Amino acid sequence: MASRIRHKLNAAFVKTAPAGKYSDGGGLYLRKRDRDLGFWYFNYSFAGRRREMGLGSFLNTTLGEARDAAAKCRALLKDEKDPIAAKQARRVERSKAVQTLKDVAFKAFEARRSELKGKNREGRWLSPLKVHVFPKWGELPIEQISQRHIQQMLEPIWQNKVDTARKCFFRINITLKYAA
């Protein structure tokens, strides 16, 4: 049985390689779509299924970092753990400290507070959100908010209270930009 060769690629080739798929060995691949566009991924089989796990852009992830990530994936496979499931579990752990729409809206308000001085504007900035959005949507994690959610937030008030709906829309927009 032939041994599998690892570390076939070098940093200079990675930078200058044309579009294509390149194996570094051990399940690590570089897929380039263009000279400046490509990504690393780890190809493996788990529980009878072939899987592919992204490791990042080749511009942001060096060859050494990609090799280290692939080695960690191989170690997980050796322990009979799915690398993608492990990555998702880590993401869930990090998301336990997730910020909700309500949390980020208050932070966005604090950031804009100095612009809102005069004629009681400071107290009125959050009121449309407190009345129409927070009761139902305030605890939704900010990362999960989609256009569909925003549409569902505004539909009940759009027909009867257009100005209030518009204010809610703009404040949600400011909140999402603040979170980004």
The domain made up of 11-95 has a fold known as: Double Stranded RNA Binding Domain (3.30.160)
The pLDDT of residue 120 is 61
DSSP string, 27-74: TEEEEEEETTEEEEEEEEEETTEEEEEEEEETTTS-HHHHHHHHHHHH
pTM, to two decimals: 0.53
Instruction: Measure Cα distances from 171 to 12, 59, 176 in Å.
Output: 48, 35, 9
The pLDDT of residue 141 is 86
* pLDDT tens per residue across span 148-167: 888 888 888 888 999 999 99
* pLDDT tens per residue across span 96-109: 667 888 888 888 88
pLDDT < 50 positions in the chain:
1-3
Query: Domains of the chain: which residue ranges?
Result: 11-95, 101-179
Which CATH class for the 101-179 domain?
mainly alpha
